[in-house]
Structures are given as structure tokens and as C-alpha cells.
């Protein structure tokens, strides 16, 4: 994809193993040092979040060209297309969810994962700019369907019953696109019936990244999964690009001037980070 420049910020794909390692260091800082994920010995020794999928994926970066630390990398998303997943042996999300309905669709699909933003940049428009990069990448590769794990912090589903129940009752994916949590890991999301859900309160309880996904028309799969390593409860998010509303999709397109985006905070909230996205952070 063509790099995009917004003032001092550049959105582009990683160009070297060194830049991928810098993204992994950012992921480690967010997922392990901030969010309380449990590193294995190798991860703790290197202080990098990594797995074998990294070698097959493309890594989208947000780079502050004026920041000397860690190569200036202040945000990242991992992008995995069909060809990447085939070479690796599967998508990351398949370890938690049955993706058959998604993967049986013709055309390109793309998994979003390992998303995070440096704490110093979560009050700006970094997430919107990363989504512009995702949209440009998806157009370049003709990907019409995006998906990935998006996370609630913590490993107790009862503590997030309101948010999970809201997603289940109001944002469930259609049958033809609906991922389902693997049977052995399935956690029901409908602890509360619809009449006990205050929608405004429920939306406020959602992690910022999941709220952002919903605002671009995302839906979720059936069932959640507890990821004890990352200390999260994950849902599978699905976004059909042809259904992203014009109101929001225009924010993801590069402007002719390529100046910093002046995006209201209500369009997409500051990124809170989560390893599961998905995302959108995301695993």
C-alpha cells in the first residue's frame, strides 16, 4: 500500500524485520506491562510480543517521525489475508472461533489482530488514521470482509455481562457470517435478557475499540472466549466493508492534502488497547 502522511505521522506497512520487532516491543509494553498478560520465558526475556504468525503477516504501523524511541512506532495492527493464513496453516482467530461461514465466502477476507497504540497517543486520531491505512490496504487487495478477535479486559465474563449481553442481543452477525466460539471454550454472552439492558449504559461499558467497530457497522459472533494468557474475554468481530456507512468511511479515505485528520472524538473513541484485535487491541 502507498504510505500516507498526516503531519508528523506516517501510516504504512513495516519494511523490515527491525520494524516488525519494534511493533512487537510496543505490543509487549501494552499487552504485558499495562494489561497484565502472562509472558512465557522467551517473551519476557526479549520483551517482545511475538508468535509464529508474525512472519507471515503484514504489519501496519503508525509512526511519529519526530519520536526517536522505538523507531517512532506508536501504533500497530497485524493484517492477515487468505494467502498468509494458508502459508501459516490458519488464521489466529480460528484457535478461538469456528470461522467456516466466513472462510467459505468467495473473495478476499482479512483478519485484523494485535492492535495497540502507545499510551501517549490514545487521545488523538491515531486509531482513525490506522483505519485509513486498513481501508487502503483492503482496497488494494480487494478484501470485502474483515474480522478478528476484540477483547474485554479481565477474565471474568460475569463482570462484563452487560456489554456481552448487549452485543449478543443487538449486534449479532447474520447466520451466513456468524463465527461461533469453539465448543470447548464457548462462553454464553446472553446472561441478561433484553428487557434488563439499558442500551446507553451498555454502550458506555464497552471497551473503546469495540465501540469503534460498532460505529463502522461491525457485528459479532456467537459466544465469547476467555484468553487467560492475555487476561481478556474475546468476541469475534466481523465488518463488511460494503456496509460501512458513508458517514464513517469518508474518514478512512486519505485527503488530497494528507494533512492531519480533524476527526471528532465521537467518530471513534481513543484506543484502549487489547491483544485480541482484534482492533481493531486485538489478538
For residue 273, the model assigns a pLDDT of 35
For residue 256, the model assigns a pLDDT of 43
Q: Does residue 263 sit within a domain?
A: no
Give the Cα-Cα-Cα angle 226, 231, 235 (nearest 5 degrees): 40
For residue 230, the model assigns a pLDDT of 93
Mean pLDDT over the full length of the chain: 87
Q: Does residue 22 sit within a domain?
A: no
For residue 215, the model assigns a pLDDT of 83
> What percent of the chain lies above the pLDDT cut of 90?
75
Q: Does residue 108 sit within a domain?
A: yes
Residue 229's φ and ψ, nearest 5 degrees, are: -60, -45
Q: Does residue 150 sit within a domain?
A: yes
Residue 283 has pLDDT above 80, yes or no: no
**For the chain, what is the total number of helices (H) and then of strands (E)?**
9, 11
Burial of 73 from C-beta contacts in 10 A (0-12 / 13-18 / 19+): buried
For residue 279, the model assigns a pLDDT of 34
108: Cβ–Cβ under 8 A, 6 or more apart, which residues?
81, 82, 141, 142, 143, 144, 145
Torsion 149-152-153-154 (CA) sign: negative
C-alpha cell at 255: 485527503
Contact 133, 60 (CB under 8 A): yes
For residue 92, the model assigns a pLDDT of 96
Q: How far apart are CA 8 and CA 258, in angstroms?
A: 11
Q: Does residue 89 sit within a domain?
A: yes
The predicted-structure confidence for 192-240, as pLDDT tens digits, reads as follows 999 999 999 999 999 988 998 898 889 999 999 999 999 999 999 999 8
Q: Does residue 172 sit within a domain?
A: yes
The predicted-structure confidence for 34-51, as pLDDT tens digits, reads as follows 989 999 999 999 999 999
Q: Does residue 281 sit within a domain?
A: no
Torsion 71-207-237-154 (CA) sign: positive
The predicted-structure confidence for 46-93, as pLDDT tens digits, reads as follows 999 999 999 999 999 999 999 999 999 999 999 999 999 999 999 999
How many domains would you assign to the chain?
Answer: 1
> What percent of the chain lies above the pLDDT cut of 70?
86
The predicted-structure confidence for 234-282, as pLDDT tens digits, reads as follows 999 999 887 664 545 555 554 444 433 333 222 333 233 334 433 334 5
Q: Does residue 264 sit within a domain?
A: no
Can you give the residue range of the structural domain that contains 188? 77-252
C-alpha cell at 158: 460475569
For residue 123, the model assigns a pLDDT of 77
The predicted-structure confidence for 162-176, as pLDDT tens digits, reads as follows 999 999 999 999 999
Residue 108 has pLDDT above 50, yes or no: yes
pTM given for the model? 0.84
For residue 127, the model assigns a pLDDT of 83
For residue 264, the model assigns a pLDDT of 29
Amino acid at each position: 500500500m502507498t504510505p500516507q502522511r498526516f503531519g508528523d505521522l506516517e501510516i504504512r506497512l513495516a519494511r523490515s524485520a527491525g520494524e516488525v520487532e519494534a511493533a512487537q516491543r510496543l505490543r509487549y509494553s501494552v499487552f504485558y506491562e499495562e494489561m497484565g498478560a502472562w509472558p512465557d520465558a522467551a517473551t519476557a526475556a526479549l520483551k517482545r510480543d511475538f508468535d509464529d504468525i508474525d512472519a507471515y503477516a503484514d504489519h501496519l504501523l503508525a509512526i511519529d517521525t519526530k519520536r526517536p524511541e522505538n523507531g517512532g512506532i506508536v501504533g500497530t495492527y497485524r493484517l492477515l489475508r487468505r494467502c498468509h493464513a494458508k502459508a501459516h496453516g490458519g488464521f489466529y482467530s480460528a484457535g478461538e472461533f469456528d470461522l467456516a461461514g466466513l472462510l467459505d465466502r468467495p473473495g478476499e477476507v482479512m483478519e485484523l489482530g494485535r492492535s495497540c497504540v502507545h499510551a501517549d497517543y490514545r487521545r488523538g486520531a491515531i486509531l482513525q488514521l490506522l483505519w485509513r491505512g486498513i481501508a487502503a490496504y483492503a482496497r488494494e487487495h480487494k478484501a470485502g470482509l474483515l474480522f478478528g478477535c476484540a477483547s474485554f479486559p479481565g477474565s471474568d465474563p460475569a463482570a462484563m455481562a452487560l456489554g456481552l449481553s448487549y452485543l449478543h442481543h443487538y449486534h449479532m452477525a447474520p447466520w451466513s457470517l456468524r463465527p461461533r466460539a469453539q465448543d470447548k471454550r464457548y462462553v454464553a454472552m446472553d446472561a441478561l435478557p433484553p428487557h434488563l439492558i439499558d442500551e446507553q449504559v451498555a454502550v458506555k461499558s464497552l471497551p473503546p475499540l469495540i465501540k469503534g467497530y460498532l460505529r463502522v457497522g461491525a457485528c459479532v459472533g456467537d459466544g465469547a472466549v476467555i484468553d487467560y494468557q492475555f487476561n481478556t474475554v474475546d468476541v469475534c468481530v466481523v465488518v463488511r466493508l460494503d456496509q460501512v456507512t458513508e458517514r464513517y468511511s469518508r474518514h478512512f479515505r486519505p485527503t488530497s492534502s494528507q494533512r492531519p485528520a480533524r476527526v471528532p472524538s465521537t467518530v471513534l473513541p481513543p484506543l484502549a488497547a487489547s491483544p485480541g484485535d482484534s482492533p481493531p487491541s486485538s489478538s
